[in-house]
Amino acid sequence: MQSVLIPTKLDSVAKEVLQQKGYAVVQDSSASLKELAAKHPDTEALIVRSEKVTAEVIDLLPKLRLVVRAGSGYDTIDTKYARRRGVDVMNTPGANANAVAEEVFALALACYRHVVKGDVTTRAGQFEKKAFMGHELSGKTLGIVGLGNIGQLVARRSTGFGMRLLGYDPVISAGKAEDIGVQLVDLETLFAESDIVSLHVPENDETRGMVNARLLKRMKDGAMLVNCARAGIVNEDDIREAKGARTLYFCNDVYPADETGPKSVADIADVMLPHLGANTYEANATAARRAAEQILAYAEMGVTTYVVNKGVPDGLDELYQRLAYRLTVMARSYLGGAKPVQQIKCSFYGELGQYAKWFLPPICAALSPEFDLLQDPEEAEQFLADRGIILEVRSTDESKAYGNSMTIDMIEGADPYRRVSIRGTVAEGNLMISRINDFDRLYFVPRGHALVVQYRDRPGVLARITSACGEANINIDDIRAPRDSRNEKAIAVLMTNRAVPPEVVARVSADVGAEVAFAVSMP
């Protein structure tokens, strides 16, 4: 690999590092990526920022082997098409994290101290000192939603301001949170007790619209919401309504598209910036240098760390990766997600043992939307370590003749802790869950919608569960209801035609005195 194209305004250090190693580098931000790709068809590696790397662009570069996103997000790159064409896609996670973390405090201070309005009026010859009475960060409670790279840096940067820290992250362990001075709470508590709420989660099906009327109603009068994450995670109309009812400050740096034109939040944002979170010289230089170094390591030593669209290794059926994902989803749902995960123990039987590390990315993806299913196994290990989650891949006793199957045990909380153990396999091309704790021979397919209820074994309970579904106009497609006679417990797994609403789950749980009750949906 010797030819690199950089079709973006990126710090020159990337070009310099590569040229010193004898690479031919073209850096040009004056034309579109499509035009540059057509002009430089011999390109073997691309370094991009927010440019869209589409299937059309990839087809224009027949020698392309690697695309590096100088930053963390890579939703502008067609990673699936790149995989089909044998093109690896990398990102540089964490390179921009400090810049975004510092921006949180820049926005909060600008809002609290009326920096923008104060500057404008003072330049106009006014001196409105009394009108701009402000607030201090010291002594305030800062709630951090999402404790990944950026969220953890926000926590650390707050130290000098003497703030109380609350955090919400369904993955990070209590021990790791304690290390960075954060008290883990649920979302409702965080929004109710925080003076400032800062958002640091990706936008996906789970997080889209998560900041809505329900959470906003819990915020204090005079509280502040800071969004330097993604536009779609907040419901703008709900913020508008909340601001109409009481004092609520809103600072924003993200939009549905980075483009000129009116912004829909202009009427509700107290301070707004044009997506400047990662826009510092230092972050740009760090991302540029890392992108160049990753190209060198990839080309010269075969290092594939940070490849986000890896396929599966030869010999492994990707159905088993999907199985690991769904077993983890089921385990997390069983535990309810109220407390952070402390430990994960895995057993991979038969031929799966040699591919153990390749099951870690789907496990992480099931735990957190921040992690992509196709990321690198080493990144998965680091992801778990960064969140204080202990991982143990156990040796297996093949004399048990479990065949190609896997068991995932998950331990949640610390005092008291809860645990669940789930085993699954692939049978005739179908993913299959065979055991949950001591309930063996379940043999149900974890696909679609399910209601799971565990209860003290006694007559008539299953009929009450099915009746509740019928009353809610929910059809039951299949039922598995084994008993654990030794412990006098039973479990009912009902596959349903649609998602079971939370109120139905709560009603069933109360009616039968369930030990565990949850609904889960999986594609």
Q: Which domains does the chain have, with CATH numbers?
A: 3-93+282-301 (3.40.50.720), 97-272 (3.40.50.720), 310-446 (3.30.1330.90), 448-523 (3.30.70.260)
* Count of alpha carbons within 13 angstroms of residue 50, beta-carbon side: 9
Please tell me the predicted confidence (pLDDT) of residue 182.
Answer: 96
Q: Rounded to 5, what percent of the chain is helix, strand, coil? A: 35, 25, 40
**Is pLDDT at 1 greater than 90 in this prediction?**
no
Query: At 475, is the pLDDT very low, low, confident or very high (cuts 50, 70, 90)?
Result: very high
The values of phi and psi at residue 108, to 5°, are -60, -45
Residue whose pair of structure tokens reads 């972050």 in the numeric block: 283
Question: Quick one: CA dihedral 157, 158, 161, 162, positive or negative?
Answer: negative
Please tell me the predicted confidence (pLDDT) of residue 45.
Answer: 97
Query: At 340, is the pLDDT very low, low, confident or very high (cuts 50, 70, 90)?
Result: confident
Please tell me the predicted confidence (pLDDT) of residue 48.
Answer: 97
**Is pLDDT at 69 greater than 80 in this prediction?**
yes
* Count of alpha carbons within 13 angstroms of residue 211, beta-carbon side: 34
Query: At 416, is the pLDDT very low, low, confident or very high (cuts 50, 70, 90)?
Result: low
**Is pLDDT at 451 greater than 90 in this prediction?**
yes
* pLDDT > 90 fraction of the chain, expressed in percent and rounded: 80
The values of phi and psi at residue 511, to 5°, are -65, -40
Measure Cα distances from 248 to 104, 198, 432 in Å.
Answer: 17, 14, 49
Query: At 313, is the pLDDT very low, low, confident or very high (cuts 50, 70, 90)?
Result: confident
Task: Please calculate the CA angle 426-432-436 and round it to the nearest 5 degrees.
Answer: 130
CA distance 381 to 350: 23
**Is pLDDT at 338 greater than 80 in this prediction?**
no
Please tell me the predicted confidence (pLDDT) of residue 415.
Answer: 57
Model pLDDT for residues 81-112, shown as the tens digit of each residue: 998 898 999 999 889 999 999 999 999 999 99
Distance from first CA to last CA of the chain, Å, rounded? 39
- Quote the DSSP letter at residue 306: T
SS3 224: strand
Looking at every residue in the chain, the average pLDDT score rounds to 93
Which one is predicted more confidently, 384 or 316?
Answer: 384
CA distance 159 to 340: 24
**Is pLDDT at 391 greater than 90 in this prediction?**
yes
Indicate the Cα dihedral angle 363, 369, 374, 379, nearest 10°: -70
Query: At 173, is the pLDDT very low, low, confident or very high (cuts 50, 70, 90)?
Result: confident
CA distance 497 to 478: 10
Which one is predicted more confidently, 265 or 317?
Answer: 265
